Amino acid sequence: MRVFNERGDFQGFAEVTDDVQAGVIVSTLGYWRSLNRSDGSVNSISSDAWCGLGRAPTFSDNLVQVARVN
């Protein structure tokens, strides 16, 4: 599967289980894109912005699209 938004994308394998609410994706952390590779990780879709309430990070919640990769 390809997970993407306006910030970037990454590819991975999907497993559908009852452990996660419908419409929600859970992804483990990964490394940033390396300089000589085009693949990414979950960090590729994350924002580095702070929220207005207490300057809390916003990287845990991301609106994304998911597409099948052939």
Residue-wise pLDDT tens digits, 13-58? 888 899 999 888 888 766 555 554 556 777 788 888 888 888 888 8
Give the contacts of 12 (CB within 8 A, at least 6 positions apart): 1, 3, 27
- The whole domain housing 29 covers 1-70
The number of distinct structural domains making up the chain is: 1
**pTM tops 0.75:** no
Rounded Cα distance, 55 and 48, in Å: 11
What integer pLDDT is reported at residue 53 of this predicted model?
84
